[in-house]
Amino acid sequence: MLLQTPPKTYTPAEYLELEETADCRHEYRDGEIVPMTGGSINHNELSGMLHAYLKFALRESNYRVFTSDLRVWIPDCNLYTYPDVMAIQGEPQLQEGRTDTVLNPLLVVEVLSKSTRNYDRGDKFVCYRTISTLQEYVLIDQYAVHVEQYAKTPDNKWLLTEYDGLDTVLSFAAIPFQIPLSDLYENVQIAQD
């Protein structure tokens, strides 16, 4: 009988120390360090395009927009993660002693990949919902023109709105911004079946 060795677990402090010198980014999931999957051209086009439009549109407002270089700490789930794009209202609340880890996203956007889409829709979304400042979660499909928007209602329910087709306009709920999917998906190569 083969005995499996349990995976090594790390403390948050050990993870943060390792992440400082790592060649690639990793998520921290309750003691486990998980390498982030490599991005595709479509993934990069979608996250880059949205970040650019948001950054320009919100430049003279009380919102700050960040890319996946900035980490979010979700203490209720013991999770460090890197959203593809996030917006914060006002000033970022940083984890004590950190300049690269925020606690108060208002909007989180993830571009779905085949390897992470179930996680992004499931356990990761459960964890994001524990952040009191989070008001909107947007999932962008990189394989089809399709966006899922979850907006928090005043009675703490999450309302799903789906957007399909290049002639559709994505209207954000937590920030004053909308974008036609034709602009968001510019230069994205969608495989035709």
pLDDT digits (tens), the chain, 193 positions: 667 777 789 999 999 998 898 888 888 999 998 888 767 899 999 999 999 999 999 999 999 999 988 999 999 999 999 999 999 999 999 999 999 999 999 999 999 999 889 999 999 999 999 999 999 999 999 999 999 999 999 999 999 999 999 999 999 999 999 999 999 999 999 976 5
Q: Is 143 strand, coil or helix?
A: coil
Question: Is 32 part of a structural domain of the chain?
Answer: no
Question: Is 13 part of a structural domain of the chain?
Answer: no
Which residue from 169, 55, 36, 164 is spatially nearest to 110, judged by alpha carbons? Answer: 36
Question: Is 26 part of a structural domain of the chain?
Answer: no
Specify the number of domains making up the chain.
1
Q: Give the domain range for residue 131.
A: 38-184
Give the integer Cα–Cα distance in Å for 45 and 185. 8
Task: Please report the pLDDT score of residue 8 as a whole number.
Answer: 86
| Residue 62 belongs to domain with CATH number | 3.90.1570.10
Beta 85-89 vs 107-112: how paired, if at all? antiparallel
Task: Please report the pLDDT score of residue 107 as a whole number.
Answer: 98
Question: Is 167 part of a structural domain of the chain?
Answer: yes
Query: 153 φ, ψ to 5°?
Result: -90, 165
Question: Is 192 part of a structural domain of the chain?
Answer: no
